[in-house]
Amino acid sequence: MDLTTLQASVAASEPRLVNRLRELVEVESPSDNKASVDRASALVTTWAAELGATIKRHKQKHFGDVLELKFGPPRSKHPRILLLGHLDTVWPLGTLANMPFRAASGKLRGPGILDMKSGVVMALEAISALAATGNLDRPITLLLNSDEEIGSPVSRPITEKIAQTCSAVFVLEPAQGLAYKTARKGIGNYQVTVEGIAAHSGVDFDRGHSAILEMSRLVQTISAFTARTPGLTVNVGTIHGGTQSNVVAAHCTAAVDVRILRATDAGKIDRLFRALKLTDKACKLTITGGINRPPMERKPGTVALFKQARKLAAQLGFTLEEASTGGGSDGNFTAALGIPTLDGMGSIGAGAHATHEHIDPTHLIPRTTLLAALLATVD
């Protein structure tokens, strides 16, 4: 594979890449609106068809269909690679009115441009460049789901099934600064509920058992879990309880976010939650939830992919950095199956899920070339 030719091919397609990016950003696609996400996937389908893709829609009732696009020869001496992305965004319909696609101050802006419509467009351009330079000699699957931003409830089994037929997974989520991601924390959610006994705070104070008071003690205990295991964090994000200031609170709930570094921490944190005890025995405690996204641990297979990417980046004239993050992606699922997974292979920018969401377009061509070069060379 000739890197210079590959880079020239990607560079020649830059105007199309940016046009497609505008088109895709201008089709709003919030996770909770099936028709909108399906419109975004219809647009991508037309581009994939131009590349001769085999197109399969995994039909969904409540979410956009999950789009499976296959490129390259169905069989080859090289194993299949999975490119993983999502077409849904966190932005509700109508966001474009105040946050349109636009180029300003050397940045491209728009809802979902970084997370991760640019990653989707980059993947298609990388495959296109491979085809144009005679390097598309392996099977590649581009899987675009519709529900990543709400935890991938319907796409997870599809992703896991397809990933098991692939030797590596490249995730098109945004880069971390300038870095690819080789590790992500696992994520858990717990709901803590305390039932107390209501009473008039003036007339019957002694008969009351405050769910809020008990919860305040639990919050101290739960928050202290953070210090017990390296990389593990516990955040009590919300508390709801009580009815009036003159009523001893009969009810209090808390929602807790947990992040873990190692898969073995899942059982450990779960035991800590299940062992929680109340001080006031008249109150009742209920714990639900658990770890729902396993960590993407930094495993040798992933490290090998990263090293190869770094070598290719150096040949392309830039330094590729490596990072880990506390945020999850669909890469967590594939990595947990033991499939080497490299993440953060999409755009460089900032402000995902925020009104200043943008990408730095100067990195589009180098990063797309790197993606193509990796697709052409990994085993």
Q: List contacts with Zn ion (CB under 5 A).
A: 115-116, 173
Report which of 331, 339, 69, 290 is spatially closest to residue 189, judged by C-alpha positions.
290
H or E element, residue 183: strand 179-184
The least CB distance from residue 377 to Zn ion, in Å, is 26
The least CB distance from residue 347 to Zn ion, in Å, is 11
What one-letter code names the amino acid at 263? A
Q: Which residue is nearest to Zn ion (CB)?
A: 115
The least CB distance from residue 1 to Zn ion, in Å, is 29
Q: How many CB atoms lie within 10 A of CB 294?
A: 21
Nearest-10 Cα torsion for 83, 48, 158, 137: -50
The least CB distance from residue 346 to Zn ion, in Å, is 8
Q: Decide whether 336 or 345 has the Cβ nearer to Zn ion.
A: 345
Q: Decide whether 172 or 250 has the Cβ nearer to Zn ion.
A: 172
According to DSSP, the β-strands at 66-71 and 247-248 are: unpaired
Q: Where are the alpha helices (DSSP H) in 167-296?
A: 211-223, 265-274
Q: Which two tokens stand for residue 362?
A: 């100067």
Which residues are 287's β-sheet partners?
A: 192
Q: Could you tell me which residues come within 8 angstroms of residue 260 by beta carbon, excluding any fewer than 6 positions away?
A: 185, 186, 187, 188, 229, 231, 232, 266, 269, 291, 295
Q: Decide whether 51 or 120 has the Cβ nearer to Zn ion.
A: 120
Dist CA 249 CA 208 (whole Å):
8
Q: Decide whether 3 or 179 has the Cβ nearer to Zn ion.
A: 179
Q: Decide whether 27 or 116 has the Cβ nearer to Zn ion.
A: 116
Q: Decide whether 87 or 269 has the Cβ nearer to Zn ion.
A: 87
The least CB distance from residue 351 to Zn ion, in Å, is 13
The least CB distance from residue 115 to Zn ion, in Å, is 4
H or E element, residue 306: helix 300-316
Q: Decide whether 311 or 353 has the Cβ nearer to Zn ion.
A: 353
The least CB distance from residue 359 to Zn ion, in Å, is 13
The least CB distance from residue 302 to Zn ion, in Å, is 19
Dist CA 142 CA 159 (whole Å):
11
98: left (phi over 0), alpha (psi -120 to 50) or beta: alpha
The least CB distance from residue 376 to Zn ion, in Å, is 25
Q: Decide whether 66 or 116 has the Cβ nearer to Zn ion.
A: 116
SS3 369: helix
CA 113 centroid distance within chain: 14
Which residues are 67's β-sheet partners?
A: 57, 144
Q: Decide whether 69 or 113 has the Cβ nearer to Zn ion.
A: 113
Report which of 41, 24, 124 is spatially closest to residue 364, judged by C-alpha positions.
124
The least CB distance from residue 188 to Zn ion, in Å, is 19
CB 196 within 8 A of CB 210: yes
Q: Decide whether 173 or 357 has the Cβ nearer to Zn ion.
A: 173
CA dist 129 to 3, 14, 17, 132, 224, Å? 11, 11, 12, 5, 52
